[in-house]
Amino acid sequence: MAKVKVSKSQKIRDHLATMPRARPKEIVAALSKEGVAVSAALVSQVKSNRRKKNRKAVAKPASATSPRQDALGINDLRGAKKLVDQLGGLKQARKALDVLEELT
């Protein structure tokens, strides 16, 4: 069976998963014992990218004042009322909408 080659960055991420507060020099020393030669700069870069990714993953709550995409505004409701009045009532407007739905 062939060995699966793991990248240096993945080795660093694996080590950070077990010891998230480890300093770059500590990680370099630990990985060198395993026979993986990495620089402190690479460890710092992987740690930095990990923090950036974690920040992006945090979902920001939607603003309470921002309207939903499918929400009707007051102008939409006024236009709908005007249409209902022009068609002679709600029953006629519903019939017209049913016919329109069949056409599309």
- Summarize pLDDT for 61-90 with one digit per residue, the tens: 655 555 566 778 889 889 989 989 999 999
Q: What share of the chain is helix, strand, coil (3-state, %, to 5)?
A: 65, 0, 35
pTM: 0.50
- Summarize pLDDT for 9-65 with one digit per residue, the tens: 999 999 999 998 999 999 999 999 999 999 999 999 999 988 887 777 665 665 555
How far is the C-alpha of 61 from the C-alpha of 72, rounded, in Å? Answer: 21
Q: Are 8 and 27 spatial neighbours (Cβ–Cβ below 8 Å)?
A: no
pLDDT for the residue numbered 6? 82
The CA dihedral of 6, 9, 10, 16, to the nearest 10 degrees, is 140
